[in-house]
Structures are given as C-alpha cells and as structure tokens.
Structure 1
C-alpha cells in the first residue's frame, strides 16, 4: 500500500477547530489606528452607533436567535431518533448538530441532507466539521469518529488519496454520478492534486474539478472481475 497523500490544507490555530482563535497580527504603522510615534496626533475615535441603528441590530439578532431555535427544533424532530445523533443545540445565532459516526456512508448522507458541500469540511483530531446555511441559519455538523474511519479507508486502499472528507483509491477505476469512468494514470498537477482521465479520452482533469462537475466519485464496481456462472455438466450421450 502506498503512503496516504492528501489535498487538504493544513489545519492550524483558528482553522477548523471549534472555539480556537489565532492571535491578532500587530498593527501596521500605516494603519490610521496605530499609535502616533510622537504623540502629537489625536487617535481616531469610533463613532457612536445611533439609537435607531442599535434598535435595528438588536431586533435582527433577536430574530436570528429565534430562527436558530426554530431550526434546531425542526432538526431535532427530524433527526432526534437517529442513532448517530448525540445532540442538537443552539449557539447564539447558530445551530450545532453533534453526531457519532460509525460508517462513512452515513456521514456522507447526513452532510448531503443538510446541504453541506464537501469542500467546506475540515477535520481535526477525532472530528470532522461541515457548515451550511439552512433556512437562513448557519448550521454546523460535527461528526465524531470520521477521521478514524478515513484512516481505515486509507489503510485498505492500494494507492490512497484523501481530499476533504473522502479517501480515493487511485489504483482503481472511479465512476462519477453520470456513469463516466475515470482513471489515474500517474499524472499530478503542480499543486499535488491527482489528474484523472476519462476512459476513451486523453484530456486530464484535476480531481476537485471532476467532483465539482460530475458529483461524487465511487469505486467502479461494474469493472470488478465477475466470476463465471456455474452450469451443471451436460449429460453424456
């Protein structure tokens, strides 16, 4: 088995980790809010918000929080009995659904039902997190156990490559949602992404581009070897 290659960007402080934050950069000398070197220039003062603006902001936040509670209630009613669901809760104006994932196929179904695109998914330690907007409310799906399942899939592949929250075996033919077969002939883009070629053609295409154009890619089971049918021997004459 080849070593796992991945097209994911590294996750650092403040990226893909709930509750994390990166340190603020130092102020630039050219910034109007940087201290005056001689102390002779007055520092700018932020304008006071108007009363009307404050009322509108409070009303907007009140509506957003109420909408988040309604969305959370709807999701709890629809998913609450599912064995993968741990909890559905609100965080201010956002809904968070926490799941314990036991099969990758279940994770893909859940995030697809919530409208979460695979390129928005970030993985860190034992969780993968995807985000989407649902009924004007930000929804975060937290899948515990997904990275471990991805590691198992990579160990089972001959030439594993992980992109976002999927592992692809580049040694096997892949089939998209339209029935087109793709194969990796060893080509790589300058950024390290594998190039796939559709059967019967020569033009390579980057893996993320194939996914955006044709949907998900699965192992082409129809190209797996098929055992010949067993027939009873013909009677002797």
Structure 2
C-alpha cells in the first residue's frame, strides 16, 4: 500500500527499512509500508529482544508515549523527519516481565532500564546510576571511572551514547546508596502507565548534552 507520490520521504524511509530489516529475517515482521507522509510497521513479537530490535529500528527517542492495547504496544519514532509508527502484537508481556525482574526499574521510550546494575553504551562504556534525579525525577547517570563528575540524565545518555544494555559482567557498581532514590524514580508496577507518566513529565523538554 502506498499513499504518497513516488520519491517521497516516507517512501524512501520505508524502502530503507525494508532493505535493513527484510521479510523472513527481521523478527516477527508482518508488514512494512508507507501511507501518506508516514511509515507503518506491524510485527508480532514473543521476546523482549524482538521489541527492542524494532525500537532500535525506528530510532532511540520516541516522539510520543507508548500506548498499550491489551498485550499490544504502539510506538512512534522518526527517521529523517518522517514519522514511523510501530504496532507490536504480544510485546506487553515480555516488557512487563522485564519490569518485574529488574532490581530498580525505570521505563523510558519503551525500554526497561535496571538502575541497580551498570548500563553499557554502544561503545562499550559503562554508566552507573548516581542515586540522584533531575527535575521530573529523571535518573542521573555517571560514566564509570568519572568519579561521579559530569552526571547526565538517562535520556541524554540514551540519545548520545545509546542504545544502552545491561552489563554482562555484573560487578555491583550500580547498587548501594542510590537505591531509595531509584525506587522513587520507578514508582508503579505497570510499564505502560509508567511510560505515560514519564512522558507527561518530559513533555516539551528536549534532552541536552
């Protein structure tokens, strides 16, 4: 299905996504097409990695809060200024399981971050929760080896060094004095509800390095 003229931005983005995430290879891909000035992706996922795979595909920063419809999650990202809508059947259950399994969970842009452990960025660097929060109860992280200096908010780290993953070699650096602050930052037990609350607090604010 195509609803925009040949050569449009949405058509180019859809074609790029199809090349990078082809049918039969990309996990759970059901449909990927452009309509008007948007790209629409529909997938069926059974594992958290599949949901995160598609979040990576549409960009690290979502442009609106994740919506939940039963066990289905809907997210919107942007590529080259083109909105990309993702509808993921079955994504809620693994995301909720990750939330419940995390020591100190915090939900941002559709992902659960466990603040009780160091987080690894795409270059292999490690970021540790400081125990403090910025305005809106957004967690502050510091680079390992930085001595606690130059703390940055989680959204800033994600935008400039993400995506962030759990540190495979757990060393306990993420535990300790910050536990109470992290629990306050991670209120609630519904990841979709926590996402909505966090996005409302963040509305109109663009993370700065």
| TM-score, normalised with respect to structure 2 | 0.63
Q: 1:179 aligns with which of 102, 124, 131?
A: 124
Superposed CA RMSD: 3.2
CA deviation after TM superposition for structure 1 residue 119, in Å: 3.1
CA deviation after TM superposition for structure 1 residue 101, in Å: 1.7
Is 65-74 or 102-111 further displaced after alignment?
65-74
Q: Does 1:116 align with 2:64?
A: no
Cα 1:187/1:100, change in 2 over 3 Å: same
In structure 2, the partner of 1:222 is 169
8 A Cα contact 1:118 1:165, kept in partner? no
For structure 1, the residue ranges without an aligned partner over 5 or more in a row are 1-60, 226-237
CA distance, structure 2, for counterparts of residue 95 and residue 195 of structure 1: 34
CA deviation after TM superposition for structure 1 residue 76, in Å: 5.8
**Deviations 1:183-206 (Å, cap 9, x if unpaired)?**
223211121011112223122221
CA distance, structure 1, for counterparts of residue 93 and residue 46 of structure 2: 10
Cα 1:88/1:182, change in 2 over 3 Å: closer
Q: Does 1:95 align with 2:95?
A: no
8 A Cα contact 1:128 1:147, kept in partner? no
Within a 5 Å distance, the mapping from 1:36-185 to structure 2 comes to: 63=5, 79-82=22-25, 84-113=28-57, 115-120=58-63, 122-125=65-68, 126-133=72-79, 138-185=83-130
CA distance, structure 2, for counterparts of residue 186 and residue 224 of structure 1: 17
8 A Cα contact 1:89 1:95, kept in partner? yes
For structure 2, the residue ranges without an aligned partner over 5 or more in a row are 173-209
CA distance, structure 1, for counterparts of residue 122 and residue 15 of structure 2: 33
8 A Cα contact 2:127 2:141, kept in partner? yes
CA deviation after TM superposition for structure 1 residue 172, in Å: 1.3
Pick the structure with greater CA Rg: 1
Is 180-189 or 102-111 further displaced after alignment?
102-111
CA distance, structure 2, for counterparts of residue 182 and residue 188 of structure 1: 15
Cα 1:63/1:172, change in 2 over 3 Å: same
State the secondary structure of the residue aligned to 1:63.
coil
CA distance, structure 2, for counterparts of residue 68 and residue 177 of structure 1: 28
